[in-house]
Amino acid sequence: MQKKSVAVVLCGSGYLDGSEIREAVGTLWALSKHDVTVQCFAPNDTQPDVVNHLAKAIDPSVKRNMLQEAARIARSEIQSLDELNPDLFHAVIFPGGYGVAKSLCDFASQGAKGSVRPDIAKVMNQFHTQGKPIGAICIAPALVALVFKGHGFQLTLGPYSDAAKEIEKLGHKHIECDVKSCVVDEKNKIVTTPAYMVDAAPLHEIFQGIEKLVQEVLRFRAT
């Protein structure tokens, strides 16, 4: 049997303007425990903003590219999202970070009224149509909620919150979940875990949740 392949979609490097670094690394760490090949992707496009992570303030003088910055996490082993062929992968996983809610969609500012980058929506639809699992970490379930508006998925953003309300407005069921665990929508093959939606969670507990998400994602067989 051919080795399973998993795509990991990033969008920069930094919790305030890109992928949450620790969640991305946790995903790669959990995947490395399994006999799978992993390929990272990111949109080859300019970030909407760059945040000075020391000052926690937008630096309007700087432009950065999502693919180039994500390559820092991926140790240069990364491809443009344009090159992602879902036929070649068993599953796709989206780590969180504000970049997901600002760059891959505009959920951060628009909530349930937001829209998703067409290339991201296309990839998610392709995996889902092919009966392949999607994993979404932290705020990334909001991306799933927007793409599959009205589909009645079971998703978690951790404890109930304003963000969870927006998920519900999109016609999904928000399920509260501990940071060490994950929520599995068996029917739709969607797996979600809160990670840094639980702000003060110890890092090793966040990794436990991500590890479970990866296990559940890999459990599904493509139909």
| Closest C-alpha to 106, from 66, 139, 71 | 139
CB of 214 to its own copies, least distance (A): 11
* Distances in whole angstroms, Cα of residue 1 to Cα of each of 4, 35, 65, 134: 9, 12, 37, 22
- Closer of 203 and 222 to its own copies (Cβ): 203
121 residue type, one letter: A
CB of 24 to its own copies, least distance (A): 9
- Closer of 14 and 114 to its own copies (Cβ): 14
CB of 189 to its own copies, least distance (A): 25
- Closer of 86 and 99 to its own copies (Cβ): 99
Residues 6+ apart with CB under 8 A from 154: 172, 173, 175, 183, 184, 185, 188, 190
Contact footprint for its own copies (CB under 8 A) = 13-16, 18, 21-22, 25-26, 28-30, 32-33, 52-56, 65, 67-69, 71-76, 78, 202-205, 207
Contact 100, 8 (CB under 8 A): no
Assigned token pair, 179: 């940071």
Respond yes or no: is residue 138 known to be catalytic.
yes
- Closer of 1 and 54 to its own copies (Cβ): 54
What residues form DSSP beta bridges with 6?
38, 91
Other beta carbons within 10 angstroms of residue 197's beta carbon come to: 24
Q: Which one of the listed residues 11, 105, 138, 177 is annotated catalytic?
A: 138
Residue with structure tokens 């951790």? 158
Instruction: State phi, psi for 52 to the nearest 5 degrees.
Output: -70, 110
Contact 128, 96 (CB under 8 A): no
CB of 205 to its own copies, least distance (A): 8
162 residue type, one letter: D
- Closer of 44 and 181 to its own copies (Cβ): 44
Active site residues: 138
